[in-house]
Structure 1
């Protein structure tokens, strides 16, 4: 497996994987599939803000992607990131998501971020919750019925993991991705 920084050439594969999740899944509560131009805009904004955006390849083929972004836009949250990870359905359960997340955690720690939050759409997504738990995330809360998609109300789970010194000590004032 190869993990690398996402490039513009990856956007078609990223957009296709995300489109499948928008149409069929509940990891995102987005209803309308964003076009390639919108996905380019989102990727560029995340990368330009200094957050890591990664791609995994297995046997030379696109396998998934993960990125960190601002958890919230208020300045006091600037040391906290939210993660997103998507894996091609045929490759789920083969370690792609774990590899992407471990690298994302390493990169965010190296950049000086102090907390990572996983916002898991659909509280019944046991695989995502188990992945995050294996990587040191702990349950922070459940928002019952906070979202609606595919004709049903969905719970959202939030999990959190410390990065570096977590809540201890003084944060680096030069952390990238400032709001």
Structure 2
């Protein structure tokens, strides 16, 4: 398995991975999955802002992806990012989420990122919560019943990581 910066050629597989979660879960609140072209635009914008967008690959297969995106659009939030991590469903349980999150936290520029926020749908599995806790994220509060998808209301847990400053 190799970690590297995502490329345009990865976007079809990224779109496929994400589409699974859009269609079958409530861990993303999207109702429609973005196309490969939309993913490539997002990837390009994130990289242009000097934020990491990485993929875990085996050969030519993208096993998972992760990136740090804008947390909110207002300028005062420029030093805060939101992390996103998704794995191919058959690649879970191998430690790839931890590897990808560690890469994000290692590759970020601490002069432009002071906080990383995780917005986690509260579901039956607490794997994402445990992943973030192991990486040093702390509970920053829960918003109750803020998302409605697949005929159910979903809470969102906010977790925060304070980037060590030199």
Normalized against structure 1, the TM-score is what? 0.86
SS at match of 1:154: strand
Aligned to 2:97: 97
Q: Which residue of 2 aligns with 1:156?
A: 156
Identify the residue that residue 31 of structure 2 maps to in structure 1. 31
What is residue 177 of structure 1 aligned with on the other side? none
The answer for the alignment partner of 1:131 in structure 2 is: 131
What SS is found at the alignment partner of 1:56? strand
Structure 2 spans left out of the alignment, 5+ residues: none
User: CA separation of 1:111/1:94 partners in 2, compared to 1, >3 Å: closer, same or farther?
Assistant: farther
Q: Secondary structure in 1 aligned to 2:27?
A: coil
Instruction: Name the structure 2 match of 1:144.
Output: 144
Matching residue of 2:77:
77
Separation in 1 of the partners of 2:111 and 2:55?
18
Which SS does the other structure have where 1:65 is aligned?
A: strand
Task: Give, in whole Å, the separation in 2 of the partners of 1:124 and 1:140.
Answer: 20
Distance, in Å, in 2 between the alignment partners of 1:39 and 1:128 is 22
Q: Distance in 1 between matches of 2:116 and 2:132?
A: 11
How far did residue 111 of structure 1 move? 5.3
Superposed displacement of residue 85, structure 1: 0.2
For structure 1, the 5+ residue unaligned runs are: 170-179
Do residues 16 (structure 1) and 16 (structure 2) align?
Answer: yes
